[in-house]
Homo-oligomer: A and B are copies of this chain.
Amino acid sequence: MDKEQIKEEILGMGAKARVAAHALAVLDADQKNAILRAMANGLRDRADEILDANRKDIDAGEANGLTEAMLDRLRLDSSRLEAIAVGVEEVAELPDPVGEVLDSWTRPNDIRIEHVRVPIGVIGIIYESRPNVTSDAAVLCLKSGNATILRGGSEAIHSNRAIASALQAGGESQGLPEQAIQLIPFTDRESVRVMAGMDQWLDVIIPRGGKGLIEAVVSQARMPVIKHYDGICHVYVDADADLDMAVAVSEDSKVHKPSACNALETLLVHRDIAESFLPAMAEAFSAREVEMRGDEQVQAILGSAVVPASPEDWDTEYLDMIVAIKVVDDMAEAITHINQHSSRHSDCIITKDDQQASRFLRMVDSACVYHNASTRFSDGGEFGFGAEIGISTDKLHARGPMGLRELTSYQYRIRGSGQTRALCATT
């Protein structure tokens, strides 16, 4: 297929998605939940087809020399597929965000205004190799009343197609509008470029994957993009900290899951407690085999246990068992450092002084700011959202952990009795 044909086909999918979105927007919660349960069963009914398709992806991956870790992310088996189906059923159990009246008021001229939560419309999801994203993303979008256009990576194309068809076919048995869940059959860059340009059909794009993918979407997109960039997260240990707590929270933030975006990367320590705190912290990190990179003051205290930090360390997301450590003069320096180097994801202060903590929380410009708790709690599940489509590092529309509410927009519904501006203006 040449570029023009690819473009035409994807634009056609966009137009169909818009029609599906209008039909989805008026389904009530019971209808959507019945559809979701039918979608879960759709996955079960077509398990053989999905696993066969996955086998093709695995064979191709092996032939193309994918690493074992990559193959493992790609691989499905009956129990993994059942887990995906159960995930769909769990989303059916969540409350429906659509239709919630956020606010309502009556104006002096007696027009009544309702501010109501509605679906966004059509959501584009661009992702890489994990086939479970096909189901997870489509299902959260559907629960919030949106149509989806999915564009997965080439490694998982057979699995993704089989999963998307199973979801759509299963859902249609309970009234899912046609083309509510569509998978783009192309995996080249051109398909991303076309999606990024079709702002008449896609209301938002959510890229899920590495920095290169997000960057490609951001630089091309005409519509809003909700980004999940990196997490350069900080813990600042204040002069007044409970040092045992500081060790425990810093250790957890670093080692509980170092590959997560909410993991600690840079530890900042007030100079007044550096000498008492750092040896205890170093002992805990060493026991977990965390590499420490320190500035000169940290080196002076910890000696050869620490590697000298270079300026780039303050801007690095290690996603690994490595931590950068810096001594600061006071909280103001810590805040300045964080606001300059943090990716505005999750940052923490450890202190016994509540007022000091409140100032820190107010002054640090990050999505999630913590007092005396691990940065690892930045998570839709831990926040109680029930489901998570990601953790936004943007400041507009959605910031931090994104649940179903963040997949909605709003609308003003105004009811009157014939008011005109000429006769009934209030301003």
* Residue from the list B363, B374, B379 in contact with A419, Cβ < 8 A: B374
**Considering residues A248, A409, A415, A421, which has the most beta carbons from chain B within 10 angstroms of its beta carbon?**
A421
Q: Are B395 and A409 in contact (CB under 8 A)?
A: yes
Q: How far is the CA of A422 from the CA of B203 in the complex (A)?
A: 38
A54 interfacial contact with B, CB 8 Å: no
* Residue from the list B224, B242, B422, B426 in contact with A256, Cβ < 8 A: B422
Q: How many residues of A contact B (CB 8 A)?
A: 75
A427 interfacial contact with B, CB 8 Å: yes
Q: Are A105 and B412 in contact (CB under 8 A)?
A: no
Identify the stretch in A73-81, A270-278, A396-404 within 8 Å (CB) of chain B at 4 or more residues: A396-404
Q: Are A381 and B412 in contact (CB under 8 A)?
A: no
In A226-266, which residues have CB < 8 Å from any B CB? Answer: 226, 242, 245, 248-249, 251-252, 256-257
A173 interfacial contact with B, CB 8 Å: no
Q: Are B418 and A373 in contact (CB under 8 A)?
A: yes
Q: How far is the CA of A28 from the CA of B141 in the complex (A)?
A: 38
* Residue from the list B22, B374, B384 in contact with A421, Cβ < 8 A: B374
Q: Which residue of chain B has the shortest Cβ distance to A361 in the bound complex? A: B413
**Considering residues A118, A363, A374, which has the most beta carbons from chain B within 10 angstroms of its beta carbon?**
A374
Q: List residues of chain B with CB within 8 A of the CB of A383.
A: 107, 113, 412
A281 interfacial contact with B, CB 8 Å: no
Identify the stretch in A183-191, A301-309, A364-372 within 8 Å (CB) of chain B at 4 or more residues: A364-372
Smallest CB separation, A401 vs chain B (Å): 8
A32 interfacial contact with B, CB 8 Å: no
Q: List residues of chain B with CB within 8 A of the CB of A22.
A: 339, 363, 365
Q: Which residue of chain B has the shortest Cβ distance to A340 in the bound complex? A: B18
A82 interfacial contact with B, CB 8 Å: no
Q: How far is the CA of A245 from the CA of B416 in the complex (A)?
A: 11
Q: Are B373 and A415 in contact (CB under 8 A)?
A: yes
Q: Are B421 and A252 in contact (CB under 8 A)?
A: yes
A120 interfacial contact with B, CB 8 Å: yes
Q: Which residue of chain B has the shortest Cβ distance to A420 in the bound complex? A: B252
Q: Are A415 and B371 in contact (CB under 8 A)?
A: yes
Q: List residues of chain B with CB within 8 A of the CB of A120.
A: 395-396
Q: How far is the CA of A383 from the CA of B109 in the complex (A)?
A: 11
Q: Are A25 and B365 in contact (CB under 8 A)?
A: yes
Q: List residues of chain B with CB within 8 A of the CB of A384.
A: 105, 107, 113, 426
* Residue from the list B367, B382, B396 in contact with A203, Cβ < 8 A: B396
Q: How far is the CA of A365 from the CA of B413 in the complex (A)?
A: 11
Q: Are B248 and A395 in contact (CB under 8 A)?
A: no
Having A370-B414, A379-B427, one finds 16 other A-B pairs with CB under 8 Å, namely: A25-B365, A113-B383, A118-B365, A199-B218, A249-B418, A249-B420, A252-B421, A252-B423, A361-B413, A367-B411, A371-B415, A372-B416, A374-B419, A382-B427, A397-B397, A400-B412
